[in-house]
Amino acid sequence: MRWVAAVIAALLLPLPVSRVSRAADAPRKFDIPVWHPDARWQLDPEPFAGTILQGELDGPRRQVMWRWALMPELCTRITEGGRYVCLSYDAATERYHVVAGSARGYLDGPFTRARFGGSSYSTRGEACASPDGRYLYIIDAYNQRAIRVLDLEKQEVRTIMRKAPAVRDLVVHPDGRLLVVNTGELLILTPDGALASRLPLEMKERDTHLSFSAALDEVHNRLYATQYRAENWYVWYWDLKDGSFHGVLPRARDDEPKRKPNEAGPFKGTNLYNEGAVAFGPDDPEKRFLYLGRVDTNTFFRLDLEKEEIWAFSADDGRFISSGVPRGKSSYGKPPLWLPDGSFMWHTLFWEGNQVRVFRRIR
What distance in Å separates the CA atoms of residue 359 and residue 114, rounded to the nearest whole number?
A: 36
Whether residue 27 has pLDDT greater than 90: no
- DSSP letter string over 198-248? EEE----S---SSSEEEEEETTTTEEEEEETT-SSEEEEEEETTT--EEEE
Q: What angle do CA 347, 350, 353 make, to 5 degrees?
A: 90
Q: To the nearest whole number, what is the mean pLDDT of the chain?
A: 81
Q: Give how many domains the chain has, as a whole number.
A: 1
Q: Which residue has the higher pLDDT, 61 or 242?
A: 242
The verdict on residue 11 lying in a domain is no
Q: Is 66 domain-assigned? A: no
Are 215 and 287 in contact by the 8 Å Cβ rule? The answer is no
Task: Give the integer Cα–Cα distance in Å for 83 and 61.
Answer: 18
DSSP state of 330: -
Rounded average pLDDT over 136-162: 88
Q: How far is CA 198 from CA 158, 194, 209, 267, in A?
A: 22, 12, 20, 32
Structural contact between residues 216 and 179, judged by C-beta atoms closer than 8 angstroms: yes
CATH number at residue 270: 2.120.10
Give the C-alpha distances (Å, rounded to integers) separating 292 from 183, 277, 325, 331.
22, 6, 15, 10
CA distance 278 to 124: 17
Residue 54 included in any domain: no
Angstrom distances, CA of residue 294 to CA of 52, 121, 236, 300: 22, 16, 16, 6
Within a domain: 308: yes
Range of 114-128, 284-298, 339-353 with top mean pLDDT: 284-298
Is residue 234 one of the residues assigned to a domain? yes
**Structural domain includes residue 17:** no
**pLDDT at residue 331 is higher than 80:** no
pLDDT of residue 356: 78
Beta strands 337-338 and 289-294, pairing class:
unpaired
In contact, 308 and 54? CB cutoff 8 Å: no
The whole-number average pLDDT for the span 65-87 is: 55
Distance (Å, rounded) from C-alpha 244 to C-alpha 57?
46
Which residue would you say has higher pLDDT here, 185 or 1? 185
Q: Is residue 77 part of a domain?
A: no
Instruction: Tell me the torsion sign for CA atoms 243, 244, 246, 252.
Output: positive
Of 228, 223, 182, 180, nearest to 205 by C-alpha is 228
Domain membership flag for residue 202: yes
Q: Domain range spanning residue 222?
A: 34-39+92-345
Query: What percentage of the chain has pLDDT greater than the value 70?
Result: 80
The pair phi, psi for residue 294, each rounded to 5°, is: -125, 135
| Span 99-147, pLDDT tens digits | 777 677 888 999 888 888 766 666 666 788 888 888 888 888 888 889 9
